[in-house]
Structure 1
């Protein structure tokens, strides 16, 4: 992530309330740290800075600096320690060992492949897929990299130590490390490695034979798709290893499928919605009822197809399904008094559209109050000086009308014969007339005078979020811009820009859309817009976006552009 230079967006001292919040976040993210250690890592009085930056691939990262060194970084609401912090707390994360020659590949932006992992006599640490891990070198326990496990320890061993083991986020000698004092890892007593261990001998042979087989997927390769050996093992053995409370993955998926189905019937679907296409039931309702952190996958259930699942629900007399048109099934009736529905308890909400995460806390989203304003340019200062307004002053439309009306009356510019007309003096001529009109137009009606005056003022706007100070910005207010783009092989993607203006976090919106649309999402810098991100979703998802922005975020439609490009009802 930090293999190449990043772009710093801002660097500010942390506020007292944010410092306390950070300390609470660290305690929650790393429960093995004691209170004294947390206070030492996030000191109460020493200088602590917050640096917001964009990595070279466009990821928005928040870095916390203390004592001139980066100590923590936050990505997509997750908190990670840097190598500087791990040198002080080497046992903070489960540590895996690799060879010194592999380090240069990690620094270059590659991920750590399992053939490069050394298995100590005590065995590999027990981790689950997605767990945060440290990577150390043979001969020194001081971590040199921070990564996320691409598979569980059981899967690593079952694969014969093949495939991608860890997605590396940060390493010693990368650009994040270079933003600190550039110190080297301390010498910490190493984890013992048995030189006769067969796994080490295997790695050693591979190291001398072909270093590339030991290491690491380049970032360019990872963009093309997951490593074939790193993909999830869906064999029966692998499923049983990943089972929860002794339940196979297929049984878990069946339970999740029924939970989402009952949740949708109880809370989202009404009698007026019937008949309802079965595809709409799944895409618009069941997917959005899926709990945070889980993904509904019909193919991993025992039913394999939605039609078979609904046939089973029909046999239980919960719903009635009919083919109203050739090849298209619909739900035509629901028994809302069925015991399965009446006894179902809706789970507590997690990641929904009404909730945007801020750090590790969640705050309900409320649309901002937006007020259009006008800014006085240099060419119109003479008109507004008498009312105490200088160049750059911002005014509401009603204030502009009052000032212009007072100016005309105070200078006796109202036509005595026709009070609907205003005579133009030299100041009004300079402010509102074009050059070719200067000696031609002598009077203007009130409405035309005011319209021209507003048109020649510079646009501005004020955004006020609940509980926050108003934010004043000059220029035109950009709406949330939704467009369709054509990609290779005639595939369409939906692109959304300008979410930040309305207090919407692009990463949270992308996560909701990914779950709701069951389509991949990408957050990247918006072309031609400084410090702005765009969300890209596979396919034409404007219908889902419209529901999200209008119905759930309750953003006024006048601030959204592009909803007319949604697919027509009944068409794919």
Structure 2
């Protein structure tokens, strides 16, 4: 159904009461078990049992529909006749996913369909059917499952009745649902599949369709885990989702469903560091579930020290033939930060990325951090020019470096561009915003007092129009009311409706009222100024009909140059999100382009609920930032540059 991109209206937060009501609707529809209170318990025990049942229900609701859930209406087409389909999507992020919001549920009519993201975090909420991998791949192109394709049965799950919502996994990965559909027949009643004909399951959604790939930040769809405990029939312990959820420690720092980490499934970043065959210790091992929380000062200090040790080890492992392992001493502060620290920080989640800033450590700056390493006898440093500390040498045989075991680094996403036929094409070098085409559209919504003028053209009084269209509406109204001056067609006679809608108390307006007419162009300016501005930022081939313009003038990206620590200049840029630009990949690119340290942090004064992120790079890097933005489709006319080093605006 979602092979083609649906039209999704703007998301809105889901009220707590609506979230609970929807979650309870899911629990009832899918007959999920909620732990009951013990009827035979003593009064005190009954209270404890009731509290446990309430906690279990709350945990179950959160697992099905997280507290950060949003909702929006959508429309799409389905079937060979392109039947119009509309409904509601529910968007949110499960714990352990780095805060990346995904479509979790789809409501069409009275049916709520889970997406694969929900199934990967909530085993056994729907019956699971199996078919060979080749069949799953065809279903991921939009095909339905035929009855002969059913495997691992009979018997089939008892809940797989006609009309039931089911999940489908491949025989090669039997614990990972990849397709969601509805049963066209009573699969549970099948006595055999060989020799049978007809459809068994109609496909609704699959990993790889437009719902799977949707993201508010243009982040590509998440790859499925290798193994999910709870879906494998051979490993079931007979407990349902509600009971497993109730047994979780609700105040624990770990959440979600644990995924088996396969030793062979090594990240690209890990292989690049030469870690094949090495097993990271438990205290540094990174699995798919990471707490998205602010770090303490002690944890930040430890992360920076480990990142430095990691950076040194990486150079030692990859430059064994070089006398100083590829490092050219003395090392400047910016080189230490950009080459030996920043690339090796464990920035798995947005909260960790915001926490892992040198200014939030106990040292507050890179200079004091280097002096700390000197006291630890890991490096030998020296003050230079009175305001910078450089590293003269590193003790590569130091015990802390020799015994350091590298940990798994965050995966760097490499989205792919789709070709005309939908097949993957060239891999982008940075992020999905690189190479995008942006179009800034400004439109106007007439105010209520302009309704008589618009009615002459049968125009929607609450519609959105360009200034040229409003001008045509004015001309059409003047022609319909016979207001055009026969001696000078550039003049329009003023009637009570025009006077009320377009004229004020200025001297020019009073003069026009006295003369009884006014220039057509001057009235056109009045009708534009009497309308409210709206804007839309269109990406690639999007049309304004596919989006909902936002009130107000178009947002501006702002680059600020300012001086810090007396004589050091830093460049900061914010306002990227409306232009589909992710701050962290931009910071990574600028760190390499400018050969200086970068950071991403919340813009001071921005809303905690919808924070605006700011990228900072060392040095006066206005031109480098403008070039990076241009690569992402941003016109320089949409950017403001504020140079505080000179106290003036350019």
Instruction: Bin the TM-score by the shorter chain.
Output: 0.3 to 0.5
Q: Please report the TM-score for the alignment, with normalisation by the length of structure 1.
A: 0.47
Question: What's the TM-score, normalizing by structure 2?
Answer: 0.42
